[in-house]
Amino acid sequence: MAVRNITILGSTGSVGISTLDVVARHPDRYQVIALTANKSTGKMLEQCRIFRPLYAVMLDPTSAENLRTEIGKDGIKTEVLCGIESLEKVASLPEVDIVMAAIVGAAGIRPTFAAALTGKHVLLANKETLVMAGHIFMNVVKENHATLLPIDSEHNAIFQSLPREFTGDHTKTGVRRILLTASGGPFRQTSLADMEHVTPEQACNHPNWVMGQKISVDSATMMNKGLELIEAHWLFDAAPEQIQVVIHPQSIIHSMVEYIDGSVLAQLGNPDMRTPIAHALAYPERIESGVAPLDIFKVAKLDFEAPDFSKFPCLRLAYKALASGGSAPAILNAANEVAVEAFLKSRIPFTTIPILIEKVMEAIEPKDIFTLEDVLIVDNLARKAAYGWINSEGIDS
- Tell me the average confidence (pLDDT) per consecutive run of 10 residues in the chain, 397 residues long: 94 96 98 97 97 97 96 93 97 98 90 98 94 95 97 97 90 95 90 89 80 87 95 96 95 97 98 97 97 96 95 96 96 96 94 97 95 94 96 60
CATH 1.10.1740.10 in the chain, residues? 325-397
Phi, psi of 98 (to 5 degrees): -125, 135
The Cα–Cα gap between 356 and 318 comes to 14
Question: What is the pTM assigned to this prediction?
Answer: 0.92
Q: Which of 125, 128, 90 has the alpha carbon at shortest distance from 334?
A: 128
The Cα–Cα gap between 360 and 129 comes to 20
CATH 3.40.50.720 in the chain, residues? 4-150
| CATH 3.40.50.300 correct for 325-397 | no
The CATH number corresponding to 4-150 among 3.40.50.720, 3.40.30.10, 2.40.30.10, 2.60.40.10 equals 3.40.50.720
Residue 277: per-residue pLDDT:
98
CB 41 within 8 A of CB 68: no
Residue 397: per-residue pLDDT:
39
Helix axes 41-51, 61-74, angle to 10 degrees: 40
Q: Which of 204, 228, 195 has the alpha carbon at shortest distance from 332?
A: 228
Residue 396: per-residue pLDDT:
43
Residue 210: per-residue pLDDT:
66
